Amino acid sequence: MTSVIESEEHRALRSAVAALGGRYGRDYLTRTIADGRHPTELWSEAGALGYLGVNLPEEYGGGGGGIAELSIVLEELGAAGSPLLMLVVSPAICGTVISRFGTHEQKRAWLPGLADGTRTMAFGITEPDAGSNSHRITTTARRDGADWLLTGRKVFVSGVDQADATLIVGRTEDARTGTLKPCLFIVPRDTEGFSRHPIDMELTAAEKQFELVLDDVRLPAQALVGDEDAGLLQLFAGLNPERIMTAAFAIGMGRYALARAVAYARERTVWKSPIGAHQAVAHPLAQAHISLELARLMMQKAARLYDAGDDAGAGEAANMAKYAAGEACVQAVDQAVHTLGGNGLTREFGLASLVTAARVARIAPVSREMILNYVSHQTLGLPKSY
Ligand SMILES: Cc1cc2nc3c(=O)[nH]c(=O)nc-3n(C[C@H](O)[C@H](O)[C@H](O)COP(=O)(O)OP(=O)(O)OC[C@H]3O[C@@H](n4cnc5c(N)ncnc54)[C@H](O)[C@@H]3O)c2cc1C
């Protein structure tokens, strides 16, 4: 990569995080998952080094950078085989929303901990009956004196067990019908009426997904983040970083798989020369590399626009980056598994489990089809079928 695209500071961050990732690597994550633990050692060390909060304001303990820096952190950890999924939600979505719209008290209470990794926050928007149509969410907040009472259900929310709180997207009672006016609440993990049930996912990952039930969860007035009437703007401020970070997650995973395949293809010899000399093996790997590089370029554009304060411009680029990265990741992982032949499916080589993991980037946080819909309607001005 040339310095025209990436500054000296960014390249230095990239190599420092890559060095940290290299000290942990895939074996560490595999052991952690097998032991049913979370990657707390890596999380804590990355926090102490300032990597988890690079995007958060300096006055609250962050690095004063943006999503450009945070996406480098996630991509490089992923490329080393040890991605931290909670980076997508804790500092990127929750940290961004709180630092942009939270009260001074909320910032003081949460940002230093999110920045150094001593606290984490999950993010819950998806609902069983709304799915991709988030305008249909029904989790409802009603006032009770100075308090709020929150009722509803969420599904597939990542890391609720390890997070100190979850940022829950609901809607106020008077906005139950009609266009969505979301409002965001910080719900501490052990609040009465807030229960979680792990979903049995076919995924090899340290973070679990949960179904959540909120049964008249009583929250103080200060649990509401920002303004109940400006919720949509606030929500979108958090969703663009989410898409950019999912792109980083996907690119990191794709790079990891590709590097493993290339190393294998250089060595494995069943005819006269290593299998990597056969173009049927080499070209798909070259194509996967090109797709990952292209996706990264779009991710860098999205991060640049977002960090410059252009929320609208970042929206399109963030969606396109997430789309491109998800597809590139699926392609790279598929080709990597294939390159290893039978070994691609062994536990020892550890690539087969990435086949399912790679699909996450195609589905979440917004599916491939919903991004194609977005580009069809918003960019190309085509009519809507739904
Ligand atoms: C591992 C994992 C982690 C997750 N973590 C979180 C989290 O932390 N917090 C959170 O809130 N959510 C989380 N999610 C949820 C995720 O964001 C949703 O799964 C995603 O938004 C899709 O919603 P759905 O699963 O209900 O699919 P559905 O909306 O039911 O869609 C099913 C299929 O139909 C297609 N489809 C739907 N509508 C249209 C249309 N109009 N046009 C064309 N195709 C369409 C979709 O593209 C998809 O292929 C996670 C999901 C996974 C798998």
Q: Per-residue pLDDT tens for 275-319?
A: 999 999 999 999 999 999 999 999 999 999 999 999 889 999 999
The last residue of one of the domains, among 202, 225, 248, is 225
Query: 210 with 306, same domain?
Result: no
pLDDT number for residue 179: 67
Query: 327 with 250, same domain?
Result: yes
Task: For residue 194, give its domain range.
Answer: 122-225
Q: How far apart are CA 163 and CA 119, in angstroms?
A: 7
In this structure, are residues 67 and 303 in contact, taking their beta carbons and an 8 Å threshold? yes
Residue nearest to atom 22 of ligand 1 (CA): 132
Residue 39 lies in a domain: yes
195-240: per-residue pLDDT in tens?
A: 999 999 999 999 999 999 999 999 999 999 988 877 788 888 889 9
128-158: per-residue pLDDT in tens?
A: 999 999 989 999 999 999 999 999 999 999 9
Query: 236 with 298, same domain?
Result: yes
What is the DSSP-derived secondary structure letter of residue 269? B
Instruction: Assess whether the C-beta atom of 124 lies below 6 angstroms from ligand 1.
Output: yes
Expressed in angstroms and rounded, the spacing between residue 242 Cα and the centre of ligand 1 is 14
Query: 366 with 235, same domain?
Result: yes
pLDDT number for residue 181: 79
Residue 371 lies in a domain: yes
**Model-level pTM?**
0.97
Give yes or no for residue 356 having a pLDDT over 60.
Answer: yes
Residue 63 lies in a domain: yes
Residue 68 lies in a domain: yes
Give yes or no for residue 176 having a pLDDT over 60.
Answer: no
Residue 335 lies in a domain: yes
Residue nearest to atom 25 of ligand 1 (CA): 131
Residue 386 lies in a domain: no
Instruction: Assess whether the C-beta atom of 386 lies below 6 angstroms from ligand 1.
Output: yes
Residue 182 lies in a domain: yes
**Residue 289 belongs to domain with CATH number:** 1.20.140.10
Expressed in angstroms and rounded, the spacing between residue 203 Cα and the centre of ligand 1 is 16
Q: Going by C-beta distance under 8 Å and a sequence separation of 6 or more, which residues neighbour residue 38?
A: 32, 162, 206, 207
Q: Across the chain, which distance is largest between two alpha carbons, in Å? A: 79
Angle between helix 279-307 and helix 67-79 axes, rounded to 10 deg: 160
Query: 203 with 265, same domain?
Result: no
In this structure, are residues 283 and 359 in contact, taking their beta carbons and an 8 Å threshold? no
**Residue 138 belongs to domain with CATH number:** 2.40.110.10
pLDDT number for residue 177: 59
Region of 246 on the Ramachandran plot (φ > 0 left; ψ -120 to 50 alpha; else beta)? alpha
What is the DSSP-derived secondary structure letter of residue 146? T
Query: 86 with 185, same domain?
Result: no
**Domain total of the chain:** 3
Which one is predicted more confidently, 182 or 192?
Answer: 192
Q: How far apart are CA 353 and CA 204, in angstroms?
A: 6
Query: 200 with 241, same domain?
Result: no
